[in-house]
Amino acid sequence: MRQSGLLLHPTSLPGPEGIGTLGAEARRFIDALERAGQRCWQLLPLNPTGLYNSPYMTSSALAGNPLLIDLESCVEAGWLERAALADAPVGDLNRVDFATLLPWKEEKLAALWQGFKANASEAERAALAAFREAEGAWLEEFALFVVLGDAHDGAPWTRWAPELRDRDPEALEAAREAHADAIDAVCFEQHLFFEQWTALKGYANARDVSLIGDIPIFVSHNSADVWVHRAHFFLDEAGEPTVVAGVPPDYFSATGQRWGNPLYRWDRMAEDGFAWWVERFRICFRLVDQVRIDHFRGFEAYWEIPADHPTAIGGAWKPGPGRALFDAVTEALGELPVIAEDLGVITPEVEALRDELGLPGMKILQFAFGEDAHNAYLPHNYPGPRCVVYTGTHDNDTTVGWYRAASDRAAHHVRIYLNVSGQEIAWDLLRAAWMSVAGLAIAPAQDVLSLGTEARMNTPGEADGNWAWRMAPGALTEELIQRLRYVTDLSGRLPEN
């Protein structure tokens, strides 16, 4: 079945709280997708954001991001005064002002917890208790991690008091007693996130819109995952990484990329049947219908960099878990609707693993032009429907921005190949994606809006200024919605086709 959809992280939705949430604007976006004939809404990771507000550097690979909680619905529930939302840091409607937003949202979530304790019904209290019972295996540890981080002024867990860093049972129990209310508050936030997201997913699925999530292969060192499961990572006695993740030097970077994530001890994870990964996929598939796995090639082989090396030079390829991991997760959860992010320098072994597992790979149109006819990203070279084509991803410039900065050779190539003038380059690439043989076609919402570099979501390698773009209220007009529906119909991707 040919399908299409848009890529838009919920934080980029418009709305009155200074950041996109799981409230009315999210439902309006789903309504727009339905009217445009789109079957898919693709998202970035939904976990709590960490360093530089990146959804790929999170304090937990299992928890939800409390910044996405819709406060308006909490007012309607009677847990928060409407006046509390009057000072929302809206500011620039096209950007999230994280520096202002974070303390404001934390203040409102704290007030929300107090309001819940004072006004929640017995049924609402029972729902929270049931959530904590069902998700306790990871939830209670995550909540303790968050609270201890706050108690240590945000210091990473390796700088906590040694008995807490090393998870001494008596010290942990004493901390749970001392911070009981704060732990309860974190658990409440997670309950609220999962409850709101579950309702939103139901709203989308009822309109024939499926959700595509995102699982980064690696996790942040300063996370509950690493603190709780130290034995699953290459760490020294103080908890610091001995080796870290990245990618080797290549055409694009003479020193490679040193990401800094701790690396898994895959042999130890295999001993318990990859239980942590099974739980990670279980939670993810509660929230979404399909998932993109970031840096899929790392499951075949990953680049190991000594932690004391300042760059990726001097690293080495090490074998990943291969299909053993996916077999274990499939045995526990059933068939996995997964998209393999197979970008970059991909070896025949990585392709073989992807194909053995029957996973679609990714094709990026912005990578297609400026070379010769054998470029794998040109539509005539696609392997058939078992791939997903994108005009660009969250790591690319917008298509308008890309075209403006493209070499003369690449700009000429795209115009000749597509037989277009380039005056509407975002829609030119969107139409090419939709008309291709790929089973699924995705475009960032910025391309439907024909926005330039100012709307770019992320620039890899740059720490600041990312993840902040927001869609202006009313930007996705009915004219654009119907234009997208028309292209979707022409390409045979409407739901009824």
CB distance 383 to 436 below 8 Å:
no
Q: With 80 as the cut, is the pLDDT of residue 479 above it?
A: yes
Tallying the residues shown for the chain, one arrives at 497
Tell me the β-bridge partners of 305. 244
Tell me the β-bridge partners of 7. 42, 444
- Catalytic member of 34, 225, 294, 304: 294
- Catalytic member of 214, 341, 342, 397: 341
pLDDT at residue 497 in the model: 62
- Whether 462 sits among the annotated catalytic residues: the reply is no
- Catalytic member of 163, 166, 184, 395: 395
CB distance 439 to 388 below 8 Å:
yes
The contacts of residue 463 (CB under 8 Å, 6+ apart) are 52
Output b/e per residue, 280-296; b: 16+ Cβ within 10 A: bbebbbebbbbbbbbbb
Per DSSP (E only), the strands in 273-412 are: 290-294, 301-306, 316-319, 338-340, 361-364, 387-390
CA count, 13 A, side-chain hemisphere, 136: 6
Structure tokens, 388: 């997903």
- Whether 341 sits among the annotated catalytic residues: the reply is yes
Calculate what percentage of the chain has a pLDDT beyond 90: 95
Residue 432, H or E segment: helix 425-435
- Domains in the chain, CATH or no CATH each: 3-383+423-490 (3.20.20.80)
Calculate what percentage of the chain has a pLDDT beyond 70: 99
CB distance 442 to 6 below 8 Å:
yes
Q: With 90 as the cut, is the pLDDT of residue 495 above it?
A: no
Structure tokens, 106: 């934390």
Tell me, yes or no, if the pTM score tops 0.85. Answer: yes
pLDDT digits (tens, 9 = 90+) for 46-75: 999 988 999 999 999 999 999 999 999 999
Residues 440, 444, 449, 450: is their CA dihedral positive or negative?
negative
Higher pLDDT, 121 or 464: 121
pLDDT digits (tens, 9 = 90+) for 268-277: 999 999 999 9
CB distance 259 to 218 below 8 Å:
yes
| Residue 54 φ/ψ, nearest 5 degrees | -85, 130
- Whether 395 sits among the annotated catalytic residues: the reply is yes
pLDDT digits (tens, 9 = 90+) for 241-255: 999 999 998 876 889
Average pLDDT on 415-440 reads: 98
pLDDT digits (tens, 9 = 90+) for 310-338: 999 999 999 999 999 999 999 999 999 99
